[in-house]
């Protein structure tokens, strides 16, 4: 019976295959290390937007409540981005001729929405529900940082699975009375953990840590 032999030119191919296989653990380690860098998890990500909307001005100085613009955070999984009509409620009379607001006026006149760049963008395989957190006392700043101090919004937290699980396993430090969720710079009158534990007890809060909670 004839014995099959690989052509001579495949010797180089086999050598490189061996080298790649031998270096596999190193490549995986490098990939894992990169996955922990701020660049990979987008921590600090601050894209340019079509309009230089300042949360420091609107929330910090003028005192707008988060829910005025993000109307669905208490009743839906997603935080709605307001249409241009929301902006024009004020800006039809306030700074009505500002060049910075020209894209807003055009969007309002044409009905074509502004193309905002999403800052906090979880992977498609992750399920997150804003209402489940906001209505139970997780403050906006726990995940988004001090929005009231940001001229341009950036990603404050890593939003990794480990970061979320840390809170689910020990939510008390991030819990506050639900009516205080939009208060920036929340400074409770007492021990934060004790107040959080009280909120958890009163609202029967036991955050799940099973995989299907976020991966559905």
In a domain, 151, yes or no: yes
Judge whether 124 lies within some domain: yes
Domain encompassing residue 136? 55-81+116-213
Closest CA relative to residue 138, chosen from 94, 106, 182: 182
Question: Is 69 contained in some domain?
Answer: yes
Q: Is residue 139 part of a domain?
A: yes
Is residue 180's pLDDT more than 80? yes
- Residue 195, domain member (yes or no): yes
C-alpha span between 169 and 163 (Å, rounded): 10
Residue with tokens 């006392």: 137
Return d(Cα 29, Cα 186) in angstroms, integer.
Answer: 40
CB atoms within 10 A of CB 157: 15
**Count of CB atoms situated within 10 Å of the CB of 211:** 9
pLDDT confidence tier of residue 2, bands split at 50, 70 and 90: low
Flag whether 207 is in a domain: yes
pLDDT tens track for 35-75: 545 555 789 999 999 999 999 999 999 999 999 999 999 99
Beta bridge partners of 175: 138
**105-127 tens-digit pLDDT:** 999 999 999 999 999 999 999 99
User: Looking at the 3D structure of the chain, how many domains does it have?
Assistant: 1
In a domain, 122, yes or no: yes
User: CA end-to-end span of the chain, whole Å?
Assistant: 55
Is 11 inside a domain boundary? no
């Amino acid at each position: 019976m004839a014995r099959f032999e690989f052509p001579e030119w495949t010797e180089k191919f086999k050598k490189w295959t061996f080298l790649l296989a031998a270096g596999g653990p190193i490549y995986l380690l490098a990939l894992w290390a990169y996955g922990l860098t701020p660049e990979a998890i987008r921590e600090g990500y601050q894209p340019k937007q079509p309009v230089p909307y300042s949360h420091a001005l609107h929330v910090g100085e003028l005192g707008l409540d988060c829910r005025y613009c993000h109307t669905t955070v208490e009743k839906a999984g997603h935080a709605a981005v307001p249409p241009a009509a929301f902006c024009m409620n004020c800006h039809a009379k306030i700074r009505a001729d500002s060049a910075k607001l020209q894209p807003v006026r055009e969007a309002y006149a044409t009905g074509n929405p502004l193309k905002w760049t999403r800052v906090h963008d979880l992977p498609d395989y992750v399920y997150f529900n804003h209402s489940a957190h906001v209505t139970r006392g997780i403050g906006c700043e726990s995940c988004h940082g001090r929005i009231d101090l940001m001229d341009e919004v950036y990603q404050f937290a890593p939003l990794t699975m480990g970061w979320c699980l840390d809170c689910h396993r020990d939510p008390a430090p991030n819990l506050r009375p639900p009516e205080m969720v939009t208060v920036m710079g929340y400074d409770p009158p007492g021990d934060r953990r004790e107040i959080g534990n009280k909120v958890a007890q009163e609202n029967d809060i036991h955050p799940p840590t099973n995989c299907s909670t976020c991966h559905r």
